[in-house]
Amino acid sequence: MKKNLTLIIIGGIVVIVVLWFISAQNSLVSKEEAVTAKWSQVENVYQRRLDLIPNLVETVKGYAQQEQEVLTRVTELRSRVGQMNVSSDIVNNPEALQRFQSAQNELGSALSRLLVVAEKYPDLKSNQNFLALQSQLEGTENRIAVERKRFIETVQEYNTAIRRFPTSLVASIGGFDRMETFTADEGAEEAPQVEF
């Protein structure tokens, strides 16, 4: 009788451990998929910005022929960013994520310069197409900030989960690795100087 009770207790403990392991594994998979989904949304808003840029450049071009250098730089950066082959695996590659982030930051800076150029042309500032595009671009930049924030929070939650004991045991057995997130560029704490 004592032997049967011991076997039942051991069997119960094994079942509890196996169920906990399965639950922890499923939780980590869900968190990993959440990171991938948030990254996809970040890419989505960056793509929206890329799609708006040609329309904005063309609208400004008609008014600001002498600002060709700024227009050319925006177009070049948009092309470079658009050609970057980015997959959801980028969160596992700090160098690739940094290159992507730097390219996006350069493009954002060039767009800021383009909007400063537009301030020089009162007719352009009152053009309905320009105003609509400028509003959409500002909204997109806000969306980028929001989606990056959500991505950072989701990565933080995932990274915390894989480092906490005892879930860290499941993470190491299951091959769950730490994911990278956005970091500020060097000098980002200083306001950019825009001069023409």
Domains belonging to the chain, first-starting first, are: 25-174 (1.20.1440.20)
Res 107 pLDDT > 70: yes
Percentage of residues of the chain with pLDDT beyond 90: 26
How far apart, in whole angstroms, are the C-alpha atoms of residue 176 and residue 163? 10
Q: Please tell me the distance from the alpha carbon of residue 34 to that of residue 151, in angstroms, as a whole number.
A: 9
Average per-residue pLDDT in the chain?
Answer: 80
Residues 6+ apart with CB under 8 A from 115: 134, 137
Segment 171-195 shows an average pLDDT of 71
Q: What is the pLDDT of residue 64?
A: 60
Rounded to the nearest 5 percent, the helix, strand and coil shares of the chain are: 80, 0, 20
More confident residue, 96 or 156: 156
Per-residue pLDDT of 121-154, as tens digits, reads: 666 555 677 677 778 888 888 888 898 899 999 9
Intra-chain end-to-end CA distance of the chain, in Å: 91
Higher pLDDT pick, 174 / 186: 174
Q: How confident is the model at residue 164 (pLDDT cuts 50, 70, 90)?
A: very high
Is the bond leading into 54 cis (omega within 30 degrees of zero)? no
pLDDT of residue 180: 85
Separation CA 115–CA 125 (nearest Å): 10
Q: Which amino acid is at 108?
A: G
- DSSP letter for 184, please: P
